Amino acid sequence: MTAIDDLFVQLKSQGKKAFMPFITAGDPNMTFTRKVLKKLDDLGCSMAEIGIPYSDPIADGPVIQASYTRALAAKIKLKDIFSHVAQERPNLRMPLVSMVSYAIIHRHGPERYVDDALEAGFSGAIVPDLLVEESDKLANICRQKNFNLIQLVTPTTPRERALKIAEQSSGFLYFVSVTGITGERTQLPPDLVDRVSWLRERTPLPICIGFGVSKPEHVRLLAPVSDGLIVGSAIVRLLEQAAQSESAALDAMATLTKALLGELP
């Protein structure tokens, strides 16, 4: 079992749900990213997703895309991300998972990527552009090395295909709440709860919901039917101001995180 597997077993035994913030590595620099990770851990977050900046975003809205652009402009490299995460890992209780394009994994080498990620302290990877039909190689490597491969199910995924994705995934299943790109939204689809409930009855994997989750009312709606909630753009947007004031950015992020955590069981 991985640290992610252990986390969900523990949360289930306590009747609790996971809260998983997403942040961009290296925006505006890795020293600040490490401060953000430590703050999120101190606040009691269950896990953190770390976005590996990529020049051709897959499903990222303008807020996250802009954060990737800033990090790439600062010349952030994968080796730098791994190095800094490895240094911060001993100070953190929560597991870490990377959000990474398969293009990066392929260029680095799938086995080498998993080895380096494990050495840095990551427990898994979310790979949003990896088709289930093409995932056997990476999935086998991840199984052999006890590293979670987390894949996405979208609102338009046919049910049969959703089950195949669940079978190929481990750690948890990332359920995309809305069609389109990431970003904050005023409301979520009315049939979202029904779609997640259907899938939960058919897979033993924990199901965590992301894309558009940004408000306390979203948490109240989705917590009962999910095993965890993922918040990205709402947090990344608040961290934009780090270039002007790191303390203000951290304080704003902490205020939102506390408000959302307070709505979870």
Distance CA 53, CA 71 (A): 7
User: Is the pLDDT reported for residue 148 higher than 60?
Assistant: yes
Q: What is the pTM of this model?
A: 0.92
Least confident among 78-82, 147-151, 153-157, 252-256: 153-157
CATH number reported for the structural domain that contains residue 154 in this entry: 3.20.20.70
Give the DSSP letter string of 70-99.
HHHHTT--HHHHHHHHHHHGGG--S-EEEE
Scan for tokens 């481990």, then name that residue: 170
Interval 60-110: pLDDT, tens: 578 899 999 999 999 999 999 999 999 999 999 999 999 999 999 999 999
H/E stretch holding 24: strand 18-24
* Number of domains making up the chain: 1
pLDDT of 247 reads: 96
The bridge status of strand 18-24 relative to strand 148-150 is unpaired
| Burial (CB count within 10 angstroms: exposed 0-12, middle 13-18, buried 19+), residue 220 | exposed
Confidence grade of residue 180 (pLDDT, cut at 50, 70, 90): very low
Range 166-190 burial, b when 16+ CB lie within 10 A, else e = bebbbbbbbbbbbeebbbbbeebee
User: Is the pLDDT reported for residue 189 higher than 60?
Assistant: no
DSSP 188: -
What domain range includes position 254? 3-261
Scan for tokens 């991300």, then name that residue: 81
- Please identify every residue annotated as catalytic: 49, 60
